[in-house]
Copies of this chain bind each other. A is one copy, B any other.
Amino acid sequence: MKISTRGRYALRMMIEFAMHPDTPTKIVQVSKNQGISEKYLEQIVSTLTKAGYVKGIRGASGGYMLSKPACEYSVGDILRVTEGSLAPVFCLEDGSESCEKDKICVTRRVFKKIEDAINGVVDNISLEDLLKEELEINESLALSSAAQR
C-alpha cells in the first residue's frame, strides 16, 4: 500500500517546473536539486509528456515546461498518470473485467470507500497549492538563515 518513487518524484519534478513557468527547466537541474538520478527522471517525465502534462523542448537551452498553469493540475492527475492507478485493488481499476462477484463482494465496498477517500484528498490539492507551500517554506528558511548572521 505504498506510492512508488515514480509518483513521488513526479510530484517533486512538477513543482520544479511550476517554479519557473515561463522558462524551460532542465532534467539535470531537477536531478541536482532533488538528488534523483537523471536517467530515472527522464523516464518519469516521458510519461508526463505523453500525458500532455508537460512540453519537452529539445536542444541546448531546452528543458520542460508545464503545458497548463499550475492551478489546473491536481495532485491526483499527476499521481494517477505516473502510478498507473490509485485504486487499492485491481478489481476497481478502469479496464478490469469486474470479478463476477461484483455485487456480492463486501470487501469490494470497503475498498471503493478507500479509493473515494484517496481521490477526495488528491483531487482537491492542486500543483499550485504545493508550489505556494514550497515557496513559503523557502522564504521562511531564507529569513531564518539571514537572522543567524
Q: What residues of chain A have their CB less than 8 Å away from a CB belonging to chain B?
A: 1-4, 7-8, 11-12, 15, 75, 83, 85-90, 104, 106-107, 109-111, 113-114, 117-118, 120-122, 125, 130, 133-134, 137, 141
Contact = CB atoms under 8 A, between A and B. Distances in A.
22 contacts: A1-B1, A1-B2, A1-B4, A1-B83, A1-B86, A1-B88, A2-B87, A2-B88, A2-B89, A2-B90, A3-B88, A3-B114, A8-B107, A12-B107, A106-B133, A106-B134, A107-B130, A109-B133, A113-B125, A114-B118, A117-B118, A117-B120
Contacts of A90: 2
Contact of A75 (B110, B130, B137): B110
A107 B3 CA distance: 12
Contacts of A106: 15, 130, 133-134, 137
Copies of this chain, tallied across the complex: 2
A44 to B, nearest CB: 14
Contacts of A7: 1
Contact of A8 (B89, B117, B130, B141): B89
A121 B11 CA distance: 25
Nearest to A4: B1
A86 to B, nearest CB: 5
Nearest to A75: B110
B117 A3 contact: no
